[in-house]
Amino acid sequence: MGDAGIPQDVDTAAVLACLTLEEKISLLAGADFWQTVPIPEKGVPSVKVSDGPNGARGAAFKGGPTAACFPASVLLAATWDVDAAKAVGNALADEARSKGARALLAPTVCPHRHPLGGRNFESFSEDPLLAGRMAAQYVQGLQEKGVAATIKHFAANEQETSRFTVDATVPERALREIYLKPFEIAVKEAQPWAIMTSYNLLNGHHADSNEYLLQRVLRGDWGWKGLVMSDWGGTNSTIEALQAGLDLEMPGPTRARAVAQVADAVRSGQLAEEVIDQRALNVLDFLKRLNCFVDPTIPDEQAINRPDHQALIRAVGSQGIVLLKNKDQVLPIRPEKLPKKKIALLGFAREALIHGGGSASVNAHYRVTPEEGLKAALGDEVEFVYSKGAHTFRQLPVLKDNVVDEKGQPGWTLRLTVAGSTAPTETNVAESTYTPVFIKETYDDCRATAHFTPTVTGTHYLAMSGLGRSKLFIDGKEVYEQDFNCPDAMAFMLGGFKEPETRFRFEAGQTYKIEIHTERPTEDSGFALFDGYLGFRFGFMTEEDHDRDLLTEAVQVAREADLAIVFTGHTPDWETEGQDQHSFHLPSDGSLDRLIEAVSAVNAQTVVVNSTGVAVAMPWLDNVQAVVQAWFTGQEAGNAIADVLTGAVNPSGRLPVSFPYALEDAPAYGNFPGEVIDGQLRVTYEEGVFMGYRHYDRNETTRATVLFPFGYGLSYTEFAWSDTAVARQLDDGAIEVSVEVTNTGARAGTETVQVYAGSTVTQTEQPVKELMGFTKVPLQPGETKTAVVRFSTTQLAHFDETTARWQLSGGEYTLSVGKSVRDIVATAGVSVEANSWLP
């Protein structure tokens, strides 16, 4: 599992024996944001880690050396191709090395519980088997090149709302069968070298000190041996977390593991030294796995733009794109069938929606927009015309033009009052570097001043937000007050905080004094690492720009074109770590929905290309000819999308999540993100195991609430399946299912064969059917192949909370073979004997 080539001459037990108690304790927390603590005099090296799931970003959250941006994990799952997952893992190992890192903080494997989950895009699927199989191969790809995978977030981290403090109440059966299962599959099939705990509480206990998770399940039931690290700032206790099995607190310097404090706990008998020894030994073994003892160097970060990675990103990106609708075969685009040879590109055509926000964001080497991709593919054959068509901004642009500080220099003057001091510290924020101000030291308050000379007269729009209670003054008059602290400092820093807007009339050429006063927060920031930090953001937009009628122009452009392609989706500030989705509808405030409705009313050949990591409402679906779900496609987004739209690639993506008609149809509706009880947000997973398609399959009523079912996707060719599936039990107890598939169309394509199983006798407490396995079948025109899927009978078992055992009910099971969970082409029966076993 990637151990090949790791030197065995480093005796970590002997290294441990040479360390003092204080030195051992020092290993149990990071040295800084990305590196562990070295002990050079004892020969103990440091290791560097890096975010994240779709690219190795390096040390800088923003900027820094550029990096390759790969497709998001939800797109990777949409390929249903485990080989693609392994190839991406291989490439990400190279990327991590280019940033001096030997551990990648990825993959994210928590299932998609609800369509509004803020980090769904960063994870794979609503189905634990699909998520687990993809994650296992991703891990294999990383670790066979000597870079550690860090699967996360363990466990029940299915929402961003109050993610640091929310208490998730999850029945053990649902935990075992749904929420822990992807981790279990990855652990047993790929043995990841590290696991990251989640921020939330699970059944009343923080994940980082949860003995059920870390001792009973992870190291006990699964027999896993590796390093457990906290999420950044997610260590919530000292003694309890150490005893439960949290090896490494990140980042450093430590907040919960002060060496003297932990040493006193050991010497007073509150904590056994054996616990410290085990935690430290796990850190040392981790360093050994990564060859750090032999080669302790941490190279400088590099921006290496590899052609083979570019090609892989484009290929995987197009492979994961899902064709949801294609009425009258409007796709692929055929220039010879366009009378005017004119195509309208609308919406996000000039923006590359390549990743979500937060830990998964990278400073990409480059970004190919859909317009650029299509022009490269068809530019000599058709004319492209563009119109934005809709306002989609979440925050007003920061005010940095036409402002000077109190000395007449571009930028703002900041006066920062140090706690306990009456003398403020004065500094300047230059125009060229102004971003939301984020003060990393402890101050009582921040007073920011700028002199603004507008160039346009009008009642313009302003938006101010503070990390701390804040007030906005213009020429000494209070214009707006934010009487609360920003609820999530991470969201504030990443730009995903929706700010209230206000208006103020400015006269062109007149200079106005703008002042912002922000007080040090007295509440927790929502992210422990940022507690006590100050910050503010001030946005500005002219009335003309803010209220401009973009829709009329777009409609006229669409009316004059043969084909109108509307590019919709989420920018990183709409879909991001730190908060759940603002709405099930596309942003902003229905503007993209209105754009599609208006365009489709004047152009019968309207295509929608949607780039989100989640299902979204599609009230316009019946009015458009085609819909393409492009997800977040990575830096080659425009080329990958163009490959599918033009037919250079025959779409083979299949949905890894169900698309409901409405938010109210989701199984977790009413239990997401929870309710506040005694001052704490609590969420109960009342749907149990009936999450995703398991819920929609329950009866005719729930079946009718699905817009597009799990596993669904169209092709530019046609496939015929035999109506007979052959099932047989193998000597090892496994079940093998086979079915013949023929490409009856005129072009090469790939079909995805999915095998589901469920008891032949309906049982209300059991899902109707569950995914057992899948395989991809590439076929030339006229070619027939036999698709074979094997799975273990243990996958038919369910967890019995009464006996705390896995129970396999004996009897007849129906095996359903199909193109999706709904489109079942063939069935077969199999009889199995009852059995039970401990986890």
What is the distance between the alpha carbons of residues 30 and 22, in angstroms, rounded to a whole number? 15
DSSP 340: T
Token output for 43: 């020969």
Q: How far apart are CA 325 and CA 656, in angstroms?
A: 16
In the chain, how many H helices and how many E strands?
20, 40
Contacts (Cβ under 8 Å, ≥6 apart) of 262: 25, 28, 238, 242, 271, 276
Between the CA of residue 282 and those of 12, 28, 194, 276, what are the distances in Å?
A: 9, 10, 10, 10
Amino acid at 724: T
Write down the residue that tokens 């904590």 correspond to: 271
**Helical (H) or strand (E) element with 280:** helix 273-289
For residue 785, count other CB atoms closer than 10 A to its CB: 17
Reported as type and span, the H/E element at residue 386 is strand 383-387
- β-pairing verdict for 470-474 and 477-482: antiparallel
Alpha helices in 268-395 (DSSP H): 273-289, 307-320, 370-378
Which residue pairs, CB below 8 angstroms and at least 24 apart, start in 541-546?
Answer: 541/396, 541/397, 541/460, 541/461, 542/454, 542/456, 542/458, 542/460, 542/461, 543/456, 543/458, 543/459, 543/460, 543/461, 543/503, 544/456, 544/458, 546/391, 546/396, 546/460, 546/461
- DSSP characters over 690-720: --THHHHTSSHHHHTTEEE-TT--B-SS-EE
Read off the tokens for 813.
């099971």
Q: 231, 405, 445, 488: which one is catalytic?
A: 231
**Do you know the residue count of the chain?**
839
* CA dist., res. 713 & res. 619, Å (int): 19
How does DSSP classify residue 212? I
- Tokens linked to 398: 């920061």
**Residue 231: active-site member:** yes
Written in H, E and C, the secondary structure of 162-192 is: CCCCCEEECCHHHHHHHHCHHHHHHHHHHCC
Q: Which residues pair with 371 in a beta bridge?
A: none
SS3 48: strand
3-state secondary structure of 277: helix
Q: What is the DSSP letter of 364?
A: B
* Active site (catalytic) residues: 231
